[in-house]
Each structure stands twice: as C-alpha cells, then as structure tokens.
C-alpha cells in the first residue's frame, strides 16, 4: 500500500464551535463547554459560597448559554461571554439565597497534617466570602482570573470606575480580614 492519506483537522475556535452549535451540531456546545469547564467551575466556586451553589450556578449558566447561543452578538470573545453568564448565574443564585435565607450548616472538616499553604488558601477563601457579592465578583475577576478592568466591566455590565472602586474596597477589606493571619485567631474569619 501507499503512504496513505492523513487528514489533520485543525481545532475549531470558540466562535466556530458556537456557530456550529447554533447551526445544529449537537456535539459543538459540549466541546466548547469542555474546553472552558475548569475555568468556569473555578469562577463559579470563587463567586459562590459553596461547592453546591457553584455546581448549580454553573449548570444554570450553561443551560442559559446553550439556549441563548443564537443571540450571541460577537462583540466579545466567546470565553468572555461564557464567563459573564456564569458570573450572572452566581450573582442571581446569591441574590435568591439572600431573599430566602437558610440556616448555615456547620463547616466541620478535620484538616489533619495540612500544609500552611492550604490553611492560607482556606483563610483567603473565607475572607473572600465575607465580601459583598459585587466586590467579590470584581476582585475575583481582576486579581484571581486575570481579567483587565475593561474586560471585567464588560463582564459585570458596569462602568470601569465601578470595577476599580469595588476592587479597591475589596482589597482593603481583605487586608483587614487577613491581618488576622499575623495577629489573631483564624477562627475570626469563620
């Protein structure tokens, strides 16, 4: 036999996958979601108060993105559009939780033999959860996800100055809360 023909198919871009989904390709949206799943889940987890809320918000967001794909305007990157939908789903979930308060469950997880890095991460996460939702969403997007102020403003649907002020307030509050790392009892963050 001869050398044979190898067909190399280039990876489709996010925009191509979204267009294929809208055109009826039943696998395109799954491929798009799988490409961004880790980042989207991390964003949801950092924005919400619990793993369960993160999972539910991410599911709500992906359902919304799946259904609303035809209305994507191509004025931003598909990844930014997905991030915006996830943040909005998280904020909606947190707002609903605020109007329907529930009794918090005790967060008792024995952490034997954990490193200082893990302990610090837990304290930072708890401090983040004490921030107002709007400040938390801004500081997570800018300082943890690496979005620019302009991209974060577009993502959250607010002015750039609003993002800057929310980040500044969040950083000051985080510094106050995390000051306990040096001088106090970490239980003060719970």
List the structure tokens of 79. Answer: 């990844």
- State the DSSP code for 141: I
Query: What does each of the 190 residues of the chain score in pLDDT, given as a tens digit?
Result: 445 555 566 789 999 999 999 999 999 999 999 999 999 998 899 888 788 889 999 999 999 999 988 888 877 788 888 988 998 898 888 887 776 555 555 655 554 444 566 677 778 888 888 999 999 999 988 988 889 999 899 888 999 999 999 999 999 999 898 885 554 444 445 4
Q: What SS3 class is residue 179?
A: coil
Residue 13: the pLDDT is 92
The answer to whether the pTM exceeds 0.75 is no
Residue that is written with structure tokens 């308060």 in the block: 101
118 near 111, Cβ under 8 Å?
yes
Q: At what angle do helices 160-178 and 149-156 cross, to 10 degrees?
A: 100
Residue 186: the pLDDT is 47
Residue 35: the pLDDT is 93
Task: Please report which helix (H) or strand (E) contains residue 78, including its range.
Answer: helix 78-99
Residue 111: the pLDDT is 45
Residue 144: the pLDDT is 86
């Amino acid at each position: 036999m001869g050398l044979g023909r190898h067909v190399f198919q280039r990876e489709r871009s996010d925009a191509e996958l979204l267009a294929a989904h809208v055109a009826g390709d039943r696998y395109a949206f799954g491929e798009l979601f799988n490409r961004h799943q880790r980042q989207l889940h991390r964003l949801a987890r950092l924005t919400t108060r619990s793993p369960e809320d993160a999972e539910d918000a991410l599911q709500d967001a992906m359902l919304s993105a799946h259904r609303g794909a035809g209305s994507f305007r191509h004025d931003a990157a598909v990844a930014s559009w997905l991030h915006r939908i996830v943040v909005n789903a998280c904020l909606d979930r947190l707002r609903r939780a605020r109007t329907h308060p529930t009794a918090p469950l005790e967060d008792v997880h024995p952490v034997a033999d954990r490193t200082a890095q893990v302990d610090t991460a837990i304290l930072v996460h708890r401090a983040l959860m004490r921030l107002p939702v709007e400040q938390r969403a801004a500081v997570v997007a800018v300082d943890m996800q690496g979005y620019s102020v302009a991209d974060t403003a577009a993502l959250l649907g607010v002015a750039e100055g609003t993002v800057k002020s929310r980040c500044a307030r969040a950083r000051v509050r985080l510094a106050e809360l995390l000051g306990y790392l040096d001088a106090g009892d970490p239980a003060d963050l719970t």
